Structures are given as C-alpha cells and as structure tokens.
Chains A and B, each alone.
Chain A
C-alpha cells in the first residue's frame, strides 16, 4: 500500500494574515484606479507597502526583460574608424563587436577597447568581407582576445581574393577562435545581451547583400545593425519577418542610398540612427536623401564623420547619447 505523506497543518501566523490582507487591499485599490485612471493617489493616506504594490500594478506594461537587471546599462559605441564601420556593445563585463574597420583601423579599435579596460571580446561579427569592415580584424585580434567569431558562409563565387581576407583567416586560425557561419534565426546569449542573426535570409549574388544582419536585444531595448546590406536584402528580410523594431539603427552601408530603404527604416522605426562614415569620403556617404529620410521620420541621427565616436548608454528606462566631439 502506498504510503501517504502526512501534511502538517499549521495555523497561519498573524503576520501572514496581515500581509495577505494588505495585498488583497492593494489589488482592490489598484483595480479601482485602473477603472478610474484619472484618480490621484497623492491625497490618500496609505501604508507605503500598499502604495508600492499599487504603483507596480499601475506601471505601464513593458516587454518582458527577464534576462536584464533593472539597473543594468548597455554601452554601445559606434567607433570612429573613418570610412568603415566598427560597433561595440558592452554590458556587465561582456562584449560584442560588429566589424573592426578598415586596414590600419584595428589599432584604433584596440586602443578604444583598452581605454575601456576590455581585453576580451566574447563575440566578433564580421558582417561581410569588404576591407572597410574586416580590414582591422587581424590587427585587433593581435591585441585583444576574441573568443567567438561569426562570418557569412560564402559560396566560392563570392569569396574574396584579397590579402585582407586571407590575413584575417590566418589570425583566426592561429588563435583557435571558435568560428560560426551566420545562420538566420540563431540567437546567441552573451550575458544580458541577446544577439539575433536576422540575415542574410537567402543567398545573394553580391557581398553587400550577404551582410550578416544582427539585432542586439537588451531587455526591452534593441539595436539593428545591417552592415552594407542593400535594398534587395532589406526587402527580402521584410518578407521574412517584421519583428525588426529597434531603438537604435546603425544605418546600412554608411548611409548610402543603396541601402536604408524607406519601408525598411519605417519598419525598424528607431528613435536614433548612427552613421559610420569618413569625413569627406570619396563615395559621398552618407547620401543626402537618407539624411532627409531620417529627418522626415523624426529619427535623431548621429554621424561619426561629424561627431567622432558616438556612445549610447542604454537602460530599460532611457537612452542617453554622448559624442566625442
């Protein structure tokens, strides 16, 4: 015969009874204020514990942020690497970097990291193997430990023939860094950051469109970085998912008009855009129509060619921006 466990019956203590009463009272009052939402709490005398409970019940609902501490801050740096791109995300001792600038800029990026006391990058994403995005990788990896590396899995027909590319692979190989092919739909958890790989959603016949597109999620905040993905890749991504919303958008292809299509930007609907471009660059980046688009969409735009490195301090309650100049 199966044994039955005896459950001990205890009388609830007076404290628990009072606590239960207070919570019930709080819920009833909260329901009252939800129904009559213009009623002011300030004139009513209630115990602080009850007020706190009501306050939390009346707070605006937000996206669940179970992975993020309430007081955590994500530091995002759009590093001034001239005509190129390098973006660093740093939170609570963990770091993610997207691209490392052009040849000769790896030392600039490394110096930036060292100034922040960062000697290890948890995850480095090379969006696509054009020199202005990967040229600095080899030099950076000589100075900083890179533990994991994501790159697009390219067909032979698109594989670069440059020394920049082979130098990068040589350093990765010599350092036993773990290498991952970008796979759309993968999510990497790096501390309190979630790195979503959104693209490329299919094979394209040019390297820009093969850019790894990432969305960094930090609780109820998000940042989208598209490398040099052009309009075709943006449209393909829109047909694949509309879950692209972000607070900050690192403008595609240095603010070129080959990227940043209106529908794509409106879908992301960022508060801020950051453009990484070199002062007086030969390509006319960023293009005026993209600046006009951001302005018409009420997106506050920062540019490295004007402001130098840009720092966003991101928390669950707000975003502040500081520029180098």
Chain B
C-alpha cells in the first residue's frame, strides 16, 4: 500500500493511504529524512520504501490543479475584496 504523509503532530507522522484511511507512525521509524507530502510504500511485513518519483509526480499534478483553480476566470459578479487599513 502506498501512503502519503499528511502531517506531523509532534513525533507522530499522520499518513493517508489511497482510500483516505489514516495510520499513525512514529517519526523515527521513517527510514529517510521525511517531509510532509512524501509518499512511501509500506508492505504487510513492515518494510518501508520512500518513493521520490511518486512524490514528485503527485506534487506536480496537485500543484497544477491548484494553479488552475486559482487562475480560473471569475464572473464580474464575484466577490471583490478590498484592502485592509493597517
């Protein structure tokens, strides 16, 4: 199963699988210099393998999608923020 590190809470890595189920792993058990978003394979025997290519591909795909959403043209009736006085 491939997991993605959603976040760290103190010494705990909160990891999500492809079905959005979560596991907790102690950070020191991660076998590489782990960061949020890193993808890794964890087999039933407990063997862990960091997947840098999978991580990079997912990041790029999500980043492109995010940019697309943020750059989507808004209608003239859309909310117009104003600037706050400091």
Contacts and interface: CB of A to CB of B under 8 A. Distances in A.
B24 to A, nearest CB: 6
Contact of A187 (B38, B59, B61, B84): B84
A185 B37 contact: no
B78 interface: yes
B10 interface: yes
State which size class the interface on A falls in. 35 or more
B55 interface: yes
B83 interface: yes
Given A131-B22, A180-B81, A282-B24, A166 B37 contact: no
B14 interface: yes
A131 B62 contact: no
Interface string B31-43: 0000011110000
Q: For the complex, would chain B's binding face be called helix, strand, loop or mixed by DSSP majority?
A: mixed
B69 A179 contact: yes
A159 B79 contact: no
A173 B68 CA distance: 9
A322 interface: no
A165 interface: yes
Contacts of B22: 103, 131
B29 interface: no
A34 interface: no
A162 B16 contact: yes
Contacts of A180: 70, 79, 81
B63 interface: yes
A163 B20 contact: yes
Q: Residue among B36, B75, B79 with the most chain A CB within 10 A?
A: B79
Contacts of B54: 161
Given A103-B20, A131-B22, A283-B9, A162 B4 contact: yes
Contacts of B68: 173
A28 interface: no
State which size class the interface on B falls in. 35 or more
Contacts of A159: 37, 59, 62-63, 66
Contacts of B16: 131, 162-164
Given A131-B7, A164-B16, A282-B24, A189 B82 contact: yes
B65 interface: yes
Contacts of A207: 7, 36
B86 interface: yes
B66 A188 contact: no
Contacts of A161: 4, 37-39, 54-55, 58-59, 62
A324 B39 CA distance: 40
A131 B37 CA distance: 12
Interface string A275-311: 0000000111000000000000000000000000000
A160 B62 contact: yes
Given A164-B6, A164-B20, A180-B81, A154 B63 contact: yes
8 contacts: A103-B22, A131-B14, A156-B60, A160-B6, A160-B37, A189-B82, A243-B86, A284-B10
- State the 10 A-B residue pairs at the shortest beta-carbon distance, nearest first: A186-B81, A161-B58, A156-B63, A159-B63, A283-B9, A161-B4, A179-B69, A130-B7, A161-B37, A162-B16
